[in-house]
Amino acid sequence: MQHSSSSDNRPVAKIGSKNSFYYLLNRLSFFYFMLKYCMSIGLISGSGLYEIDGLKVCGEKPVETQFGAPSAPYRLGEIESIPVTFLPRHGFPHSIPPHKVNYRANIQGFKLLGIDRIIAVTAVGSINPDIKPGSIIIPDQIIDFTYGSRESTFYDSGKVVHVDFTEPYCREMRSSIISAAHKTDINVYERGSYICVNGPRLETAAEIEFFRRSGADIVGMTAMPEAVLSRELEICYCGICIATNFAAGITNERLTTSEVIETMNASTERLKTLLKAAIAEIPQNRSCGCKDALKDSGL
């Protein structure tokens, strides 16, 4: 019988063998790493946010879900020693338009990583003339005009679930972000109704007027179905929106994507400061209703 160890039969603990110190250390590091990031805050945003001051990127985690691949591998990092898991909604580099984002894969991917809280950063158009370009809005309501055009539920077949969506954004996370804004002296609109359209085209002036009369303050293309999919998985979800321009017909000027990018860039520093403060402000343990969203929701 041949031994696979060295020829003098001394016990040799090889790196990678199940008895080795290095193997155990490796496994312990892996479990520590996963435990740490399981408790992290999820952040969905565009690529510009990888440049947050003080952000330390520690690794990437590709995830495969039953709905396919998320927009990109999740990036595991830290802000002020708080673990954060990033996902660029439109891929990296930016290449997936809002109506083609695989929202179910993105949200399920966070769930598979153990994330139970997500902050979504989004550029929006302002419908409310009081909300000037460059303003930051913490929306509290959603009007969904994408309905029927996107995969918007995890409960297509089998169990029938009607999740409560009276308050589409997590109340606890909203109040943490608003409190962080007060502490950092950053002006934010503490409420706002976000109307979500399918895109990728921008809206007509008549549509915006219709939305304004319906009570919408801002218009964007991504809050839905992100918000409801998060609720269906009992993940807390909230939004930080940057008004990058006035929507069609609110001013007489023609809308351009360069205007959107310029305003976004000008708001980046305030956004980064707010994000860092907000992430530190969010309590470790959840006391909101999101964690019990599926209770009494099935038929």
Provide the residue count of the chain.
299
C-alpha neighbours within 13 Å on the C-beta side of residue 42:
29
Residues in CB range of 125: below 8 A, 6 or more apart: 202, 203, 208, 218, 219, 220, 243, 244, 245, 246, 247, 248, 255
Nearer to Zn ion, 8 or 296 (CB): 296
Shortest CB 290 distance to Zn ion, Å: 3
Q: Which is nearer to Zn ion, 172 or 217 (CB)?
A: 172
Q: Which is nearer to Zn ion, 20 or 175 (CB)?
A: 175
Least distance between Zn ion and beta carbon 174 (Å): 9
In the complex, what is the shortest distance from the CB of residue 228 to Zn ion, in angstroms, rounded to a whole number? 14
Closest approach of Zn ion to the CB of residue 154, in Å = 18
Closest CB to Zn ion among residues 227, 274 = 227
**Interface residue list for Zn ion (CB under 5 A):** 170, 172, 236, 288, 290
**Nearer residue to Zn ion within complex by CB, 69 or 82:** 82
Rounded CA Rg of the chain: 22
- Alpha-helical segments (H) within the chain: 21-38, 103-112, 171-183, 205-213, 223-232, 257-281
Please report how close the Cβ of residue 138 comes to Zn ion at its closest, in angstroms.
14
